[in-house]
Structure 1
Amino acid sequence: MRYKKFGNYGWDISCLSIGSWTLGGGWGNVGLKDSIDVVHAMVDGGVNHLDTALAYDSGNCEKVVAQCIKGIRDKLYITTKGGTMNLFGNIFVKCSSRDFLNECVNQSLKNLEIDYIDNYMLHWPDANTPLQETMEALKDLKREGKIRHISVSNFSKEQIIEAEKYCPVESVQLSYNMADRSNEELLRWAHDRGMGTMSYSSLGSGVLTGQYRTLPNFPKGDARNFFPYFSEPLFSKIMKLLETLDVVAEKRTAALAQIVVNWSTQTSFIDTALCGARSVQEAKENCGGFEWALSDEEMKQINDAIATYLD
């Protein structure tokens, strides 16, 4: 496993992080035993950070994570996200008021069965609550010892600057992968300011791993419907990119997922890439990609294909 300094946290964070959304039941049937085995396999592979959220599967994902980290809590930094709650399975409420954030943090602590949250993240901006109220509430939660660090996800540059008037933003989490580089400038800016940086959707919800070679039709309510990769014309463009990735992977005798996570974490501005796994085999495969690095020639080959098919 490779590690990077994570902002000003004092953490050496693994370049691969456990993305837990796949463990909460929203990505098909992943049983509790499989979830526990996946997390333990990734920790055995050197991963030391796990990301989850109260909104994932109406809080069930955090409860599953609680079972997964029993006995290994001291080996993991835990990030969870709040200010967003999934009600009745399909209604997302964005609220970052002081009262709601207190409720979210307390519920996450209960769900996760832990005494404090290493890194607490605002999941989405809330247009109806002043950022001053939100950030001061987080400062108070940190002062109380319930959370250790304060971060944001899906915020714009302008929103981060506004938030920092009231409380330091210590890290950011944004969507980033070969098929979605819309946040690249923002990630570079945040990293240059000394913030920790995380990418989510690092494998493009599985589409960049070669798992889907024809356009799938997911059932209603499946979390993968949230992402744009499974609609045209983007899906067909990604299939063209995969032709190049297949060549690189074949020469290296490597899995496509390993090529993809290497590409993103070999940049200077991504500290850790969140990746989900639904089996021990996938978990070991993801970790194995950090036993080597893409060459400059391979990086150029991939970047040229991205420019040709996706830019």
Structure 2
Amino acid sequence: MAFEVPRMKLGSQGLEVSQQGLGCMGMSCFYGLPAPEQEMIDLIHYAVERGVTFLDTSDMYGPHTNEVLVGKAIKGIRDKVQLATKFGNIFDQKGNVMVRGDPEYVRQACEASLKRLDVDYIDLYYQHRLDKKVPIEITVAAMAELVKEKKVKYLGLSEANASEIRRAHAVHPITAVQLEWSLWVRDLEKEIVPTCRELGISIVSYSPLGRGFFAGYNPQEAKEGDFRKMYGRLSGENLAKNEKLRQRVMEIAEGKKCSINQLALAWVHHKGKDVVPIPGTTKKKNLDSNIQALQVTLTSEEMAELEAAVPEEEVAGDRYGKATLQATWRYASTPPLSSWNPSSVTAEEGLHTI
């Protein structure tokens, strides 16, 4: 009998999810041309059968097409999955991304996602990026209204710093914060992770394999439309420098008799019982391999060895381009509640691209 992914509590409000989730973004966008729809529906069904029931999407993936895909896939099995989606990022006509968190848009976005997903409720609803013109208290209050109306069960944030998390949690309990966390992105461990643990908030780790870097990604084999070709850490001199770090991890994986992706994922799983990684894939064999990471045991000494193999100061390149970085937790904050003036709110244009 195949190993089935165990379940875990996410946050402190009662949500239970699979210990490993499935990031669905790459099925529709950013990593090349969209994969064949029926193959992806079959993959999601296969994931659920293996116990991977925590599915992650967003209205911006496609845009919109990934939610439609996930909605088709969970038709008839809605009660078996925990569905997470996000709002806040909107593409303008020039391909830039606008960020909105005003109450009117929060409601519009949720209603649109429910329709595309063809569901009555969303299990976990994230604010994808912070709107620098709208106090987070205002955005979360609008999200809380959706909970009262039973359109959403639990609330989350993505790319929010410790201060913003505290402000949000004071308005309505936050169940999870989604952040990039992997062997080569660890700066959140200093303030954000301790804050979340103090407040009983779980962490959802996106890109736990470094956008495929710790799963053997090769830029020369990248498909047309794969944005990683322009990703700083995966190109030019930076790639050559980072390849040395990957080789160190591969050597440790060989010693553990597991694959590099399993070792990298196992490291994330071992960061705490309140952490759930959501690796993405378009192949069943990769899903099976990722699931096996849950059976890789690491001692505290082995965890330290892995972290020493990938020192933060030796990672070459930023995790996003300059414009996109401005929307991540280090740079994104919202104004104080006392400054809120609804009449002055407009979408913030050209802030970042993903």
Q: Does 1:19 pair with 2:14?
A: no
Deviations 1:250-275 (A, max 9, x none): 23432211111100110127520011
Taking the aligned partners of 2:206 and 2:231, their CA distance within structure 1 comes to: 11
SS at match of 1:118: strand
User: Could you tell me which residue of structure 2 aligns to residue 235 of structure 1?
Assistant: 239
* Bigger shift: residues 119-128 or 131-140: 131-140
Residue 28 of structure 1 aligns to a residue whose secondary structure is coil
224-233 or 258-267: bigger deviation:
224-233
Alpha-carbon distance in structure 2 between the residues aligned to 1:166 and 1:172: 15
Paired residue type of 2:249: L
* From 207, 212, 218, the counterpart of 1:206: 212
The one-letter amino acid paired with 1:14 is: S
Equivalent residue letter for 1:66: G
Q: Match of 2:178?
A: 173
Q: Say which of 168, 177, 180 aligns to 1:163.
A: 168
User: Is residue 2:262 matched to residue 1:258?
Assistant: yes
How far apart, in 2, do the equivalents of 1:31 and 1:87 lie? Answer: 27
Give the superposition deviation at 1:211: 2.2
Distance change >3 Å, CA 146–CA 226, structure 1 → 2: farther
The aligned runs of 1:96-175 (5 Å cut-off) are: 96-175=101-180
Alpha-carbon distance, 1:158 to partner: 1.7
1:128 Cα offset (Å) = 1.5
The counterpart of 1:86, out of the listed 63, 70, 91, is 91
Segments of structure 1 that go 5 or more residues without pairing to the other structure are none
**Preserved CA contact (<8 Å) 1:188 1:269:** no
The Cα of 1:282 is off from its aligned counterpart by 1.0
- After superposition, what is the alpha-carbon deviation per residue over 1:192-223, rounded to whole angstroms, capped at 9, x for unaligned? 320021111111110111222x677775x534
**CA distance, structure 1, for counterparts of residue 102 and residue 158 of structure 2:** 16
How has the CA–CA distance of structure 1 residues 225 and 72 changed in structure 2, closer, same or farther, with 3 Å as cutoff? farther
Q: 1:269 to 1:158 in 2, by over 3 A?
A: farther
Residue of structure 1 in register with 2:63 after alignment:
58
Alignment partner, residue 190 of structure 1: 196
Q: Which digits, 9 at most, give the CA deviation of each residue in 1:90-149, with x for residues without a partner?
A: 331210111111110011001111100001110000012233321221111111111011
Q: Distance in 2 between matches of 1:209 and 1:233?
A: 20
Query: Are the counterparts in 1 of residues 263 and 296 from structure 2 also a CA contact under 8 Å?
Result: no
Identity %: 26
Mapping of residues 261-280 of structure 1, within 5 Å: 261-268=265-272, 270-280=274-284
* Contact 1:6–1:13 (Cα < 8 Å) also in 2: yes
* CA RMSD in angstroms, aligned pairs only: 2.3
Runs of at least 5 residues in structure 2 that lack an aligned partner in the other structure = 316-354
CA distance in 2, matches of 1:308, 1:187: 17
- CA gap of 1:64–1:75, structure 2 versus 1, over 3 A, is same
Residues 16 and 191 (structure 1), Cα distance of their counterparts in 2 relative to 1, 3 Å cut: same
Task: Answer whether contact 1:203 1:275 (CA < 8 A) is retained.
Answer: yes
What is the alpha-carbon distance in structure 2 between the residues aligned to residue 253 and residue 41 of structure 1?
A: 26
